[in-house]
Structure 1
Amino acid sequence: MPVLLPKNAISAFPLSLGPRAKDHQPSALESSPPLEANAEAIHFLNNLQQEELQMLLFSETLAMVSDTGEPEGELTIEVQRGKYKDEFGIMSHCLLVHAFSQGFVDKMLCGISLLGYLSWDLHIMEQHTQEFIKLHILPMERKMSLVRQDDQLVMTRSVKEGEEVKTEVTFFPWSSTVGFVSEAANLLLLRVMAWRQLVPSNARFLALDTEGKLCYSTYQALGTQTIQVGHQEVDVFIVEQTVHSEEGIPGSCRFYLLSDGHLAKRIQVGSPRCCMITKMPVLRDKDEIEPAPVFEKKPLVWEEDMELYSRFLGRKEELRVSHNSYLRQHPEAQALISDFLLFLLLRRPADVVTFAAEYFGPFAKRNPPTPALRSSSRPSPFRSLDPERPTD
């Protein structure tokens, strides 16, 4: 007989990998008709804004308490920017979700950890969860990983009881995960609902049940309530999430959320234990995200700008003085240009560029010296490249 976790032993964290993983070889998805998220859920996920998600990146810590108010552990959730390297070695920016809870239940140490990489539209890139319980007779450890590989989502679940390890691998076609909300994405999705003070009506998402099977997940707004946090009363927005397992009993959690997405309290329906904050966090203001300013392109009439026109006149005078100074220092330049213009006007060639090249060509240092006695019929090197050019 396998050793099972005590009921509600790890109810302080919204993760559960089920009683045990089945011991069989890697299998394909069942041939039954695939479940699909409805249009309301897909629309809600597709309308998430990166600017909005950036306001929800923070860490928070809650205390795990029993029904008598006794502390039993701690829950920490942290969401931040991260980087993810895929199977091809390509690095990309992502959302990094890390959560960890640990405490004592019936004097037994237990805990759950989660590490998830999400795209900015909350699509899963990779996720790893691990839960353990230090039973006196036979310690137990469960692990589950979700990794996207090409066009499929690979799920690996394993259970370790003592030294015995049982593993199950399942492949989900990526097309069947549209509207899927992982445990990591769920933590962010709740913050979005609190930030908007809105739960999508009749939305039916996809999730994994305790047996690692795809099932439906729904959210319901239960209104607002005033609770006591320390010496302060605060209003919270209550959202209930229900995971509708196809084979087991639906499981529900109620989340009491502050206006900026902080989790004030969490209750697993049917569990005597809960998580709650002991100190009021500093709430983040809902600053309106102003659109980027649009600057119209206007034509530049620099002649009407006194500063630009003054710079133009100053630069013009500077160049005139510089050019005149150079010509005074090199009178041969002016004589050479005058001779060329006189020769040009006397010959009046149709191709002025070639005529200029032939005129100034002998002055080039790279050209061989012109022989004293040169045949008048010798072709010009500037004309040999284009035999179609007319000769002057």
Structure 2
Amino acid sequence: MGGKEGEKIKASPSALDFCRNTKNEDIHSCLFKDELVNVSDDGKTIGELKIEIEKVSYSGELVLLVHANSQGKVDGVPTGTALTAYIRQDLSVIEQHHQEYVKVPNHELEKVTTMKRDEEENVFIINTQITHGADTRSYAYTYPLDEVEGLVTEGNNIVLQRLLAKQEVQEFDDLDFISIDVESGNLFPCKYTSLPERLQKVDTKKIPVLGIERTVLSEKELPCTWQSFFMDDGHLTMRVQVGSPYVVVVDTIPQHIDRDDYEQKPIFTKKPLNWEEDAELTSMFLERKEALKADHFTYLREHPDVQALLADFMQFVLLRKPDNIVEFAGEFFSSFSSTLPETSSYKHS
């Protein structure tokens, strides 16, 4: 069983309330793509980051599908991540797959983590496999669902930050969530702090952006901190991990989403259609009808066995006069199958 010994790490009540009170219109306004580039400290583009959130059906339930992929080269070494996550409206994770790799020659490193919620067993399962060269290590942990309430992963963090960036009140320092170290299995606090609004230069323009700092605390190691900046419609414009040699930024201003219009759809009134009174539609109908008839007749000419088979069937029907024509037809045509057992066509005579 995973988890830290002693006092249990829990999400703050305000953080849980934020997730539970997320509205459908708030979620809908997060359904868009972000495309950014990775830039080194000397200003060179070394990779790209693509993020997309959409609604899909998962086991009959309408949920959020989060896709995030990054790839590039750091000091000439290919690196990348691939993330797929299924998230409920309350931001709880149903399933997540996360792959990370660093392709150092002869010392390739790959880390694959799978998380899944099992509501029948009331548990949350995490499996991680780390391959470093020829060495492979595996970790598996299982948690009761109530222990991971308010859990933030790479998947629902993307949705959460888009929602936070769109809040009217930009102070959310009391939103404390939890995170999991997939190697040790321990739970740690995950804190979100608002940063002062600033101007960010994109192309030749400066746009106002809101900053959000995410900090994952640790028992032994230094905290991991990311600073992300967003437009007021939730578009990510910059992200940097403290201590990292590169920054992720947009190179063009994302298309703005109007919060008042995001869910409005065009309404088309139903108009009566009487094609027989429309000369153009009537002509199209007759042309299509003749084309289909010609195609059908051509097929029948090329396959005379069709008419022979149907004539044989009609003769059998008229001779036997079965009470159940459907069953009789099934038995008749099943005799031509090479996989079904032979049956007598006289059964329903």
TM-score (structure 1 length as normaliser): 0.63
1:187 — aligned with what?
Answer: 158
> 2:177 corresponds to which letter in structure 1?
F
1:38 — aligned with what?
Answer: 12
1:164 — aligned with what?
Answer: 135
| Cα drift, residue 177 of structure 1 | 1.2
Q: In structure 2, what is the Cα distance between the partners aligned to 1:102 and 1:28?
A: 31
Which 10-residue stretch deviates more, 46-55 or 156-165?
156-165
Q: In structure 1, what is the Cα distance between the partners aligned to 2:30 and 2:127?
A: 30
Which 10-residue stretch deviates more, 130-139 or 275-284?
130-139
Q: Give deviations 1:337-364, integer Å, cap 9, x for gaps.
A: xxxxxxxxxxxxxxxxxxxxxxxxxxxx
Q: Which residue, out of 209, 217, 238, partners 2:190? A: 217
1:108 — aligned with what?
Answer: 77
1:240 — aligned with what?
Answer: 213
Q: In structure 1, what is the Cα distance between the partners aligned to 2:128 and 2:94?
A: 17
Q: Give deviations 1:118-157, integer Å, cap 9, x for gaps.
A: 1111111000100111111221111111001131100001
Structure 1 residues 29 and 236, CA, compared in 2 at 3 Å: closer, same or farther?
Answer: closer
1:293 — aligned with what?
Answer: none
1:193·1:199 contact (CA, 8 Å) conserved in 2? no
Q: In structure 2, what is the Cα distance between the partners aligned to 1:288 and 1:136?
A: 51
Q: Which residue, out of 206, 211, 227, partners 1:254? A: 227
| Cα drift, residue 29 of structure 1 | 4.0
Q: Give deviations 1:146-183, integer Å, cap 9, x for gaps.
A: 00113110000111123432111001110101111221
| Cα drift, residue 30 of structure 1 | 4.8
Q: In structure 2, what is the Cα distance between the partners aligned to 1:44 and 1:247?
A: 30
1:209·1:244 contact (CA, 8 Å) conserved in 2? no
Q: Give deviations 1:53-80, integer Å, cap 9, x for gaps.
A: 1011011110000001001100100100
Structure 1 residues 28 and 222, CA, compared in 2 at 3 Å: closer, same or farther?
Answer: closer
1:35·1:214 contact (CA, 8 Å) conserved in 2? yes
Q: Are residue 147 (structure 1) and residue 120 (structure 2) matched?
A: no
Q: Give deviations 1:210-238, integer Å, cap 9, x for gaps.
A: 64531111111111001110121100001
Q: In structure 1, what is the Cα distance between the partners aligned to 2:65 and 2:247?
A: 25
Q: In structure 1, what is the Cα distance between the partners aligned to 2:12 and 2:4?
A: 21
> 2:77 corresponds to which letter in structure 1?
M
Q: Which residue, out of 65, 71, 89, partners 1:120? A: 89
Q: Which residue, out of 173, 179, 201, partners 1:201? A: 173
Instruction: Give the 3-state SS of the residue equivalent to 1:196 in structure 2.
Output: coil
2:244 — aligned with what?
Answer: 271
Identity of aligned residues (%): 31
Q: Are residue 176 (structure 1) and residue 147 (structure 2) matched?
A: yes
| Cα drift, residue 103 of structure 1 | 0.5
Q: In structure 1, what is the Cα distance between the partners aligned to 2:216 and 2:243?
A: 14
2:29·2:262 contact (CA, 8 Å) conserved in 1? no
> 1:215 corresponds to which letter in structure 2?
F
Q: Give deviations 1:305-356, integer Å, cap 9, x for gaps.
A: xxxxxxxxxxxxxxxxxxxxxxxxxxxxxxxxxxxxxxxxxxxxxxxxxxxx
1:228 — aligned with what?
Answer: 201
1:225·1:235 contact (CA, 8 Å) conserved in 2? yes
Aligned length: 259
| Cα drift, residue 31 of structure 1 | 4.3
Q: In structure 1, what is the Cα distance between the partners aligned to 2:179 and 2:99?
A: 18
2:3·2:187 contact (CA, 8 Å) conserved in 1? no
1:103·1:109 contact (CA, 8 Å) conserved in 2? yes
> 2:96 corresponds to which letter in structure 1?
Q
Q: In structure 1, what is the Cα distance between the partners aligned to 2:88 and 2:36?
A: 26
Query: Which of these two proteins has the greater Rg computed from alpha carbons?
Result: 1
> 1:248 corresponds to which letter in structure 2?
E
Instruction: Give the 3-state SS of the residue equivalent to 2:10 in structure 1.
Output: coil
1:84·1:92 contact (CA, 8 Å) conserved in 2? yes
Q: Are residue 67 (structure 1) and residue 67 (structure 2) matched?
A: no
1:40·1:201 contact (CA, 8 Å) conserved in 2? no
Instruction: Give the 3-state SS of the residue equivalent to 1:186 in structure 2.
Output: helix
Which 10-residue stretch deviates more, 279-288 or 53-62?
279-288
Q: Which residue, out of 33, 47, 50, partners 2:21? A: 47
Instruction: Give the 3-state SS of the residue equivalent to 1:81 in structure 2.
Output: strand
TM-score (structure 2 length as normaliser): 0.71
1:17 — aligned with what?
Answer: none
2:3·2:186 contact (CA, 8 Å) conserved in 1? no
> 2:50 corresponds to which letter in structure 1?
T
